[in-house]
Amino acid sequence: MRIGLLIYGSLDTLSGGYLYDRKLVEHLRQAGDAVEIVSLPWRSYPAHLADNLSLRLHRRLRDLRVDILLQDELNHPSLALVNRRLRRRQPRYPLISIVHHLRSSEQHPRRLLPLYRAVERAYLRSVDGFIFNSRTTRQAVAGLRGESDNLAPLGGVVAYPAADHLPAPDERAAAELIRARQSDAGPLRVLFVGNLIPRKGLHHLIAALTRLPRTDWRLDVIGDSAVDGAYAAGVRKQINAAGLDGNIRLHGRVSDGELTRQYSAAHLLAAPSYEGFGIVYLEAMAFGLPALAGVHGGGGEIVSHGVNGFTVEPADADGIAAHLSGLAKDREQLAELGRNARQRFDSHPRWADSAAKIREFLAACVR
C-alpha cells in the first residue's frame, strides 16, 4: 500500500500520541508499505483554522500519490473544510483519522469550548474511518459526532498502544523489584512521567503531597518543561512556595535509559491526568509499579481501582493524599498492587499486535 500520514511538526515529538504514530509507521514500512509523512507547521489555533482556506494545502493533499491518507486527529483544526473538498474529488483515497484523545474532552475556557466542539465535530464527520487508541476514545468520538453506531462508511478499529518499546525487566527481575519495595521502609518514592502541561495534573499531585509529612515521600518528575513554559514556571513557584525543593526533583526530558532507571527505583507512578489511553501507566506496570491515574478518560481501561493502582479525581487532593499515605505505611499493599500491575502488563497486546490489526483494517479500506 501507498500510505500518507499527516501530522503537525516532527514524528519524533515527545508524546504518547506521536510514539503511537511512530510505531505504526515503523510496522507499515517493515511490512513493505510506502509511507509518506506530510508535516504541517505547529502554529496557533486560529492559524490552524486558516489552513482550511489554503489552496496550497488543498492542492498538496489532492495531488498525493497514495492509496489512503491517515490523519492524526490532533490536526483537526487544519482539516475540517479541506477534507470536505478532498471527498468531492473522484476518484479519491479514503481519509482515516488516528484519534488519541479529543481536544474538546480537555478543560478549556467556557467561552471557547463551543468553538472547539463545533470544529472538532465537523472534522470527525469529514473522514471515512477511524483508528482509536481505546474504547473510551471511540465512545468520546461517537458522542461528539452525535452517533452511537456506524461512525463512518468504513467504520473503525480499536488498536491499543503498548509499552514494549522500553527495555523492561523480565518476569523474574520484576518480581525482585516488587519484593525490594515491599521490604523498603524508607520514604515512598513517587514518580510522575508526562510533559509539564495542565492536563497532566502535576499541580494536583503536588497539592496532595503537601498534605503528607515531608519525611514520608519523595517525588521525581520526568517531563519536558518547554511545551508550556508558563505552566512549568507555575509548578516551580508552587514547589518553592510550599518549601518542597528538597522533596521534589524536576529532571526534565530524559533518555530511555534514564527513564527505565527511574521506573526501577520508584515505588509508585502517580499521573492524575486525563488521557485518551495512557501509555505511561503500562510502562510503569512493566516494572511492577502500581499506578495512580485520573478517573476520566482511558486510564480506567488500564488501572483497576484497588487492584493494580487507583483512579482518582485529579483535583481531589485529599483523596490522592489518602492513597499515597496508605501506601507509604503499608508496603504489603504496595507489593500486592505491584504484582497485579505486572500481570496487567503481561496480558496486554504488544506494539506489533496492534499495528498488525491496524494494517489489516487499512488493507480492507483500500480494496
Residue 323 has pLDDT above 70, yes or no: yes
Residues 144 and 247 in one domain: no
Q: Which residue range is the domain that position 273 belongs to?
A: 171-346
Residues 197 and 145 in one domain: no
Residues 328 and 359 in one domain: no
DSSP category for residue 350:
P
CB 224 within 8 A of CB 333: no
- Chain segment 146-178, per-residue pLDDT in tens: 864 544 555 899 999 998 898 999 999 999 999
Taking CA 123 as the corner, what is the angle to CA 118 and CA 129, rounded to the nearest 5 degrees?
A: 140
Residues 111 and 210 in one domain: no
Q: How far is CA 170 from CA 81, 258, 303, in A?
A: 49, 18, 21
Tally of domains within the chain: 2
Q: What is the pLDDT of residue 147?
A: 66
What angle, rounded to 10 degrees, do the helices at 351-365 and 16-30 form? 70
Q: Please give the share of the chain, as a percent, with pLDDT higher than 70.
A: 98
Q: How far apart are CA 102 and CA 199, in angstroms?
A: 12
Residues 134 and 19 in one domain: yes
Q: Which residue has the cell 511512530?
A: 22
- Chain segment 59-90, per-residue pLDDT in tens: 999 999 999 999 999 999 999 999 999 988 87
Residue 126 has pLDDT above 70, yes or no: yes
Q: What CATH number does the domain containing 116 carry?
A: 3.40.50.2000
Which has the minimum average pLDDT: 146-150, 269-273, 297-301? 146-150
Core vs surface per residue 135-172: b (16+ CB within 10 A) or e: ebbbebbbebbeeeeebbebebbbbbbbbbbeebbeee
Q: What is the pLDDT of residue 191?
A: 98
- Chain segment 106-122, per-residue pLDDT in tens: 878 889 899 999 999 99
DSSP of 228-264: THHHHHHHHHHHHHTT-TTTEEEEES--HHHHHHHHH
Residues 129 and 235 in one domain: no
